[in-house]
Amino acid sequence: MIKVGIVGGTGYTGVELLRLLAAHPQAQLTAITSRKEDGMPVADMFPSLRGHVSLAFSSPDKAKLNECDVVFFATPHGVAMAQAPELLAAGVKVIDLAADFRIKDTAMFEKWYGMPHSCPDLLAEAVYGLPEVNREAIRKARLIGLPGCYPTSMQLGYAPLLAQGKPLVNESMLIADCKSGVSGAGRKAEVHTLLAEAADNFKAYGVKGHRHLPETTQGLQAIAGRKVGLTFVPHLVPMIRGIHSTLYANILPEARDVNFQALYEAHFEGEKFVDVMPPGSHPETRSVRASNKLRIAVHRPDGGDLLVILVVEDNLVKGAAGQGVQCMNIMFGIDETTGLTQVPVLP
């Protein structure tokens, strides 16, 4: 059994980790930390876990995290980099769901997250936890910086186009129009996520710059092996879970004869958590709710030179906790789908 610790188990990604790991046949929940809720049974805060999780929250100094095989950080930015060195020195693997180990350029990290990076040496070692791109590196890793929810949808949506030996689309003008449910903002009291603020409303935000932009650009350029230009516009929609990303790319004249549907199907062949849907499909966020599945549909309106890629995922599962468990499975050499085969919840 894999002994698992979770730092910060009271947020949405934390409880999602608990839900998935409680049913994982090879994972043993060992410690769940929360300074504020020290001593409170987890099931008292999250009744959905009654009968599944018997642990209580404990303060970090009581949790004995160094006795775990792997520790997940479902915490605000800055927490993992403060605690990761000690855990790694004790032989514990670390998977961070926040941004501490995503962006390789420390100056870029500090610009977007407003804090100094305390362990740039570990940042250089960290593996970006996108299995469909970095599976072999994840297999050998001891430290994972898990992708953000928006970046997961954008990178997997564009990956087949960029992974070719030569450009197929104008890679300097990629456009991502993305929408997320309110749970993407986290489990904290903020005015813009109140029911009376978010319901019956639809808005863009972060147009002049969003902290997921440098992470996504970094990932797309790693896939392509060349410079990529991306315009990313996120939107908040009045639903709890789900991301819908509509991605645009202009086809180059020399690539007009490419069968892009076949290209996507071939690229993701054998991937258990990426579903390339039939031509003409319009994937819905509810078709992936509470699952680790990401669905993609490829469109070429009127057979023209504009490619439109539709991508849906559950921001808390494939966009966070589920992808973390997927990485854990790879790191410990077990079947990648273990504990992640839940059928999406509908309606």
Residues carrying an active site annotation: 149
User: Can you tell me the distance from the alpha carbon of 247 to that of 307, in angstroms, rounded to the nearest whole number?
Assistant: 8
List % helix, strand, coil for the chain (3-state, nearest 5): 35, 20, 40
User: Can you tell me the distance from the alpha carbon of 119 to that of 85, in angstroms, rounded to the nearest whole number?
Assistant: 8
Q: How far is CA 326 from the centre of its chain?
A: 11
Maximum Cα–Cα distance for the chain, whole Å? 64
168: how many CB neighbours lie within 10 A of its CB? Answer: 21
Cα distance between the two ends of the chain: 34
- Are residues 315 and 181 in contact, defined by beta-carbon separation less than 8 angstroms? yes
Amino acid at 98: A
Residue (of 20, 15, 9, 8) closest to 327 by Cα position = 20
User: Can you tell me the distance from the alpha carbon of 164 to that of 173, in angstroms, rounded to the nearest whole number?
Assistant: 17
Amino acid at 221: Q
Structure tokens given for 342 = 């839940």
Structure tokens given for 311 = 């991508």
Give the SS3 label for residue 73: strand
Residue (of 50, 100, 92, 53) closest to 74 by Cα position = 100
Alpha helices (runs of H) in the chain, residue ranges in sequence order? 12-22, 42-45, 79-89, 106-113, 120-125, 131-140, 149-162, 195-198, 212-224, 260-267, 322-331
| Burial (CB count within 10 angstroms: exposed 0-12, middle 13-18, buried 19+), residue 249 | buried
β-pairing, 70-73 with 93-96? parallel
